[in-house]
Structure formats: structure tokens, C-alpha cells
Chain A
Amino acid sequence: MTDEHIKQAIIGIIADIAPDEDTGSIDPAVRLRDQMDLDSMDFLDIVMELRKRYGVQVPDTDYQHLASLDSCVAYLRDKMAGKQLVS
């Protein structure tokens, strides 16, 4: 998966979790929490969706790496290698 696909994968998940949020204008460098209404319950959902859709496991201790789109990409690059984007 390319970096762009990883971003799209995360945005796709957020759009499902928070259908009332505008996901079209997320700044990849800024913390997701600062741009939209996401709390710890929602980050749990991002982790579970990653597992459900891509078979990727994210241990509790690594949640911090999901703070922004850019940090998600850096953290998931290896884990998502070779996977197909699910829409």
C-alpha cells in the first residue's frame, strides 16, 4: 500500500466512525483530536477497524502513533505493506 492509500484507509475509517465530520480537509500534520471530535473510545474503534479491515494489530502501547495522519502513515507503512485498500 502506498502512503496515500494508508491515508485513505484511515480517512475511510474515520468517515465511518464519525459520519457527521468533514473528513475532506484533514491536515495530515495536525493531531486528529485537534481537528475533530475523536475521543479515546474512537481511537479504540480505529484500532479495531484496522484489524477488521486489514488484519493489522495495534497494541495499546502504540496508540500514540495514531495521533495524526502523518504519524499513522509512518507507523503503519510496514504493517500495511502488500495489503489492498478496502473502501
Chain B
Amino acid sequence: MAQYDAIIIGAGMSGLAAGIRLAMYDKKVVVLERHYVWGGLNSFYQFKGHQFDVGLHALTNYAARGARGLPLSRLLKQLRIRWDDLDLHQQGFSAVSFPGVKLKFSNEFELLRSEVARAFPQQADGFDALTRAVREFNELDLEAPQQDARPVVRRFINDPLLEDMIFCPLMYYGSAREHDMDWDQFVVMFKSIFFEGFSRPQQGVRHILKLLIDRFRKAGGELRLKTGVRRILTDGNRATGVELDNGETLTAETVLSSAGLVETERMRGQEPGAQATGKLSFTETISVLDQPAKHVGIEETIVFFSNTARFNYAQPADDVDTSSGVICMPGNFDLPSTPRDHLVRITNIANYDRWAALGSAGFQPASGAGLRPAPQAADETSAAHAGATPALPYYTAKQHWYERSCADAISHIADFRPHVTLVDMFTPRTIRHYTGHEGGAVYGSPKKLRTGATGIEGLYIIGTDQGFLGIIGAALSGISMANRWVLQRDTSAVEAT
């Protein structure tokens, strides 16, 4: 029976970052990952000879080299990574696109400010006041009382269209709650998207993961793939270790779990409350074009859109809600060289239960041909479909929703469909399968444990359900929880001795 200082469940961004911190300071640490590859929600894969990222549209929280006091600079220092090593390239510009209004934004906040003043002149002062309120709020105070964001935002903005246009990107990139966000989460996302902005490495997420894995191994950490945790072992009110899927037990002083709140409770043999499972899952379609998106007439890096004036961030009644979404053109970052694949990625909100119930008979098409590009049938938008679609075999459903997703997106960007040569798509079921998140809930539970403490001594939540989301957020979560619950304890123990 192996004895560790710390066991980390999950080799996603938070688990790897926490692992690096602990290994750096000579803790005996093991990261256990059920999947055969690391990265969690943001990993990468090969598909028909192409290299695709699972998630990564963009790294939020852009910070220029030498910028001070920003989350990205904090992360770099904590993991001893040089800015240049990240190979970051900024977005051109992005947009929030609603019926009849488009607001552009970039990594220069002034662009959004002037766009708001142009499209919503009555709201310009309110927007400036909101901006000040966001700037002044300290989102790092983990003990601050929780409040809803919408009532706060309405103190400054009284045009519901602008309100929803502000919420749309922030929710899509980081809300586990339907309809509203916690104010502190709103602040985190506002800063990370509108103040700091988007960038990405030329090679996408694999570049970031390689940096993390190399750091972790160099520091002496141990990573075990294909090693799932079945149970968290406790003695009274104290975590003592874990039992693996293969029956092996490992003991440790501290267990850090990135599996999610509900999932972690289950590993303790606890039945989680019904409210705790997140309702927001997504489909993601990947279209490979025969030429760069700009040649097709798409200038934006990312477009957040809604086809209705009121943006509805909620679990849809149907398989997918294609009436809003996020469209990402990874080739429209200012990359030093044109990427090999010219991609358009579209994210839509999806209903996990409906996808889970689809027959898996059609999981792969009999021919092995894969999804087909969408025909140009412009009437196939969400507006043309009132009732819920009948349950289709899984694969047929993917084809159907791929086409609907494209048809709705082209109200906001040039019609790229004639240029598509290859298609892939993943669904809430894919997310569940590869990350273990119940309900395919990408942003986890609406309930967050900001301090990480579970009530069981020695067991702490890191990553998504601690409350910091996205790639940078999850990594910072792993770092701060490893500091707080393991490393800082060591240094404060000094006093007593």
C-alpha cells in the first residue's frame, strides 16, 4: 500500500497545476487519471489524420509580457513558466451579435467601450459605472457573501438588450448557473474576457498541456493514466486515501479532487442533492474549411450570438438550442503561421438527458463515412422548428443538429458551408464519457465550494467546482488550493514548533 503526501484525482488543468506546486516543494504526490490521456475537459485528439483540440477556443485572461498583478502573470510565476514559453498570440477582434446589433471587442477594452457608446448612447455612462464597479470588486476574497449578478448590473444598465449582450459571452465561457451568475463569477469573467481578453498558442491546447506535464515530471511528480478512483477512504471525519477501480488502495495525508463536487460526494458514498448537478452542457461542432475563414469573409476571432433579443442561457427542452451559440475561428488569432487546418467551431447549449437517452445503435454510421457537410438549406434554422425533434438514433441526431447549428450561425457570419470538407462533433455524452462530469456539465455544479473545504478533513475540491473556471481559472484553482491546504499548512506549522 503506497503512502503519499497528496493524491490528486484528475489530470485536468487544475490537477496538473496543483501537482506541479506540490512536487516542486518535494511532496510525494501522485495524479490519478481515469482516461488514457491527460487534459480533462480540455484535451486533444486525432481525427482522420487531423489534430483537434477538444475545447480551447481561446485562453481568456490575456496579459502582455511583464504585465503586473494579473491572473496569468500569477499563474506563470507560481508554475515557474516564462511568458515566452506560452507562445501566446492575441485575437484580432471578436463580437457579440444579437438581432440588429453587433458589439465588437478586442484585447483593448476601449473598443468595447466605444462600441457600447455607439450602439447604446443612453447607456454609455451606466456602462462606465458598471466597469468601475467591476474593477473595484475583489473577486479573490473567497469568503465574500454571495449575491446575484443581474440585480447589480441593472443598477447601471437599464436596456435589457445590452444587459443580455454583456451576459452572453460571460455565461457561455463560465456560468454553471442558468439565467443568472453569481456576482463574483460575473466579475471574474468580465475581467478575464473584456479587460484582459483572448489569446492562444499556435499549437493550441497541446502546447499548454505539454508545458504542464513537463514541469510536473521534472519536479518529480508521478502521473498514473488509466487509473480511476472508485472510492475516497475516510476514517471518521478524515480522508485517509483512495481505492482505485482495480481495487488497489493508496493512502495519503491530503486528497485533492478535481472530479467535481457531486462526483466527489459519490466517491465518498454520499448521495448528492438533486440541485447539485449542473444543467448546462454543450455540443461542439468542428468544420474544416478548404481555405482560411478570412478568405470566406469571416473576420472575427470569436462571435457570441443570440437570434433572439432575450438571450436564454438555460438547459433546452430539445436536444440542442441552436438559437444562441459561440462561433470560434482559431485561425483568426494573429498567429505567426497559417494553421494547417482552417476551422470553424460552434458551441451550442445542449440537453444531456436527451442525448443520453438516444439509442446508441446509430453510434457510428454503418458506412464509417462520418458526418457530412451541411447542405445550404437556409430554412432549417431554429425558427423553422417549433416543437421538439423526435428521438433519433445518436448518429442521425448528430447530423441533424450539425446542420441546424450551422444554419443558425450564418445569420452572424458569412456562409461557410460550401467550403466545408470535414466535420466532427461532440455532444454532452462525449463530455460525460471522457471527463466523468455528471450531466456532461462542463462548468460543474451551480454550487461552488470557494474555499475548497468539503467538511471532511484532508479532502478538498479543486478546479471547476471550487469556482474558478476555464483553463487559466482551473489552473489557478489547483495552485491556490495546493498552497492553502498543503504548503501553507507546512509553513504555519513552523510557529508551533
Do A and B bind?
yes
Q: Which residues of A are interface residues toward B (Cβ below 8 A)?
A: 16-20, 37, 39, 41-42, 44-45, 47-48, 51-52, 57-61
Q: Is B145 an interface residue (CB 8 A)?
A: no
Query: Taking the nearest CB of chain B, how far is it from the CB of A38, in angstroms?
Result: 8
Q: B residues touching A (Cβ–Cβ < 8 Å)?
A: 25-26, 65-66, 68-69, 73-74, 76-78, 80-83, 479-480, 483, 487-488, 490-492, 494-495
Kindly list chain B residues whose C-beta atoms are within 8 Å of the C-beta of A16. 80
**In the complex, are the beta carbons of A44 and B83 less than 8 A apart?**
no
Which of A18, A37, A42 has the most C-beta atoms of chain B within 10 angstroms of its own C-beta? A37
Residues of chain A within 8 A (CB-CB) of B68 are 37
Main SS of chain B's interface residues? Answer: helix
Dominant secondary structure of chain A at its interface with chain B: helix
Residue in A closest to B25 when the chains form the complex, CB atoms: A48
What residues of B have a CB within 8 angstroms of the CB of A57 in the complex?
A: 494
B495 touches A20 (CB 8 A): no
Q: Among A20, A48, A61, point to the contact of B66 (Cβ < 8 A).
A: A20
Contact A19 B82 (CB under 8 A): yes
B175: shortest Cβ distance to chain A, in Å?
26
Please, which residues of chain B bring their CB within 8 A of the CB of A20?
65-66, 76, 82-83
Task: Give 12 A-B contacts (CB < 8 Å), ordered by A residue.
Answer: A17-B77, A17-B80, A20-B82, A37-B69, A37-B73, A39-B69, A39-B74, A44-B487, A44-B491, A48-B25, A58-B494, A59-B495
Contact of A18 among B25, B77, B483, B487 (CB under 8 A): B77
User: Contacts of B66 on A, CB cut-off 8 Å?
Assistant: 20
18 more contacts with CB within 8 A, not counting A48-B25, A48-B487, are A17-B77, A17-B80, A18-B77, A19-B80, A20-B65, A20-B66, A20-B82, A20-B83, A37-B69, A39-B74, A41-B77, A41-B78, A45-B77, A52-B26, A57-B494, A59-B491, A59-B494, A61-B495
What is the minimal beta-carbon distance from A1 to any residue of chain B, in angstroms? 21
Of chain A, the residue at the smallest CB distance from B497 is A57
* Chain A proximity of B283: nearest CB distance (Å): 38
Min CB distance A48 to B, Å, is: 5
Give Cα A44 to B484, complex, Å. Answer: 10
